[in-house]
Structure 1
């Protein structure tokens, strides 16, 4: 049975869902009135701990069991996203090339936008080929925050 918890992050309330087979979804909600979970089920505990560690600046990668729903192609894209190192960025074209077909750039971008595992599968690390901050389902301000949070050089503003 899929269980869901709601936790506070610096970017809003995050929803974490999953079961004994792994985490199926992590998303950020605009519902600021959402009640935070008082108890964390055992199946979600490690994901919540790792997310909290990440936001506190004590974690640069995730080792939770994941079980997202998606097509085979989407899962390939999400695997490539997971290989982008902490503090680094790549373009949609880079991802398409890693998949072996630069022409699949739009399909890769679409799969990126459907990523069900916010932050853990780092779709925020994708930027435009010209280095610009490009679309982000959670809002560009969140993407900017995440990239600055991961930046090895702390500065006033990355973008």
Structure 2
């Protein structure tokens, strides 16, 4: 099946939206790490209905008028990754969870590192809110869009920080459990 994409400007940089058929398959970052999300060939389509709908809902989210996305999603990953990504979708707007809490939620309480790895491969950043997953101490940890973007998204959702935000360059891709 062909993957269609559209690039949009956002407060966290240029995002690439990817649809597979009639469903959203990915939201990729400007500084996307190669092979973090495997999609295959992409064809630009500025008028794809799902991509336009996603753009509209993201614009509403960034404007502070949307707290929940209503999009058909196409997650491609292992059963474990899919369980983790579904757990991300269950984190309410403005709340956070630790990697340990996600591991417990997916029925694998000892799989904290595997949860971190699955979180890092989440193809639907922002939509499946991996930015809402933080270290057990409350510290921000690795994020595909960078810690500055993670801080922006959490602040947009009303999160206040009781611990210092980690240096984005120094801690990019690291996890704190």
Q: Name the CA distance, whole Å, in 1 between partners of 2:102 and 2:92.
A: 13
Q: Name the CA distance, whole Å, in 2 between partners of 1:137 and 1:39.
A: 24
- Listed as ranges, the matches of 1:97-136 within 5 Å are 97-136=104-143
Deviations 1:44-85 (A, max 9, x none): 221111111111111001110000211111010000011000
Structure 1 contact 12–30 (Cα < 8 Å) conserved: no
Question: Which residue does the alignment assign to 1:16?
Answer: 17
Structure 2 contact 5–46 (Cα < 8 Å) conserved: no
**Structure 1 segments unaligned to the other structure (5+ residues):** 32-36
15-24 or 139-148: bigger deviation:
15-24
Residue 132 of structure 1 aligns to a residue whose secondary structure is coil
User: Structure 1 residue 147: deviation in Å?
Assistant: 0.3
Moved over 4 A (4+): none
Question: Which residue does the alignment assign to 1:3?
Answer: 4
Length-normalised TM-score, structure 2: 0.79
User: Structure 1 residue 152: deviation in Å?
Assistant: 6.5
Question: Which residue does the alignment assign to 2:79?
Answer: 72
Residue 29 of structure 2 aligns to a residue whose secondary structure is strand
User: Structure 1 residue 101: deviation in Å?
Assistant: 2.2
Structure 1 contact 13–30 (Cα < 8 Å) conserved: no
**Structure 2 segments unaligned to the other structure (5+ residues):** 33-43, 166-177
Matched, 1:55 2:83: no
Q: Name the CA distance, whole Å, in 2 between partners of 1:41 and 1:148.
A: 31
User: Structure 1 residue 9: deviation in Å?
Assistant: 0.2
User: Structure 1 residue 38: deviation in Å?
Assistant: 9.1
Deviations 1:7-30 (A, max 9, x none): 000010000011334111111113
